[in-house]
Amino acid sequence: MLIPSAMAQAAGEQPSVLASILPLVFIVVIFWLLIIRPQMKRTKQHRELISNLAVGDEIVSAGGLLGKVTEVGDNFIKVELADGVLVKMQKSSVGQVVPKGTFDSAA
């Protein structure tokens, strides 16, 4: 007696294809806006920072080293960490450019 009525309810209409895909599209759009787009913006800003590096700029590396740029190449830069201490590092490991005078005041 109960089984036929339960089977009758289960045989209802199927949702349309649009109604099935719409939540997935909504999730992808939210994912794009909250994660992918901001990361692309940060990557673009970092690329611009690296391309604008010049001799004399004071930088902080991704590892936290503070130094002054002494030479700029295609992929590498030379950074003076202290008097007579030069380090060659990849441009991509530059974290930020700090205001001039920061290197001298930190010593």
Domain residue limits, the chain = 16-52, 54-106
Q: Using only C-alpha atoms, what is the Rg of the chain?
A: 28
Q: What is the pLDDT of residues 5-17, one digit of tens each?
A: 555 555 567 778 8
CATH 3.40.50.300 fits 54-106, yes or no: no
pLDDT at residue 17, rounded to an integer: 82
Do residues 97 and 57 lie in contact, with contact meaning Cβ atoms separated by under 8 Å?
Answer: yes
Rounded distance between C-alpha atoms, residue 88 and residue 14, angstroms: 64
Q: What is the pLDDT of residues 36-61, one digit of tens each?
A: 999 999 999 999 999 999 999 999 99
Selection from 44, 86, 38 nearest residue 65 by Cα: 86
Do residues 60 and 53 lie in contact, with contact meaning Cβ atoms separated by under 8 Å?
Answer: no
Selection from 40, 73, 43, 77 nearest residue 58 by Cα: 77
Reported pTM: 0.70
DSSP 62: T
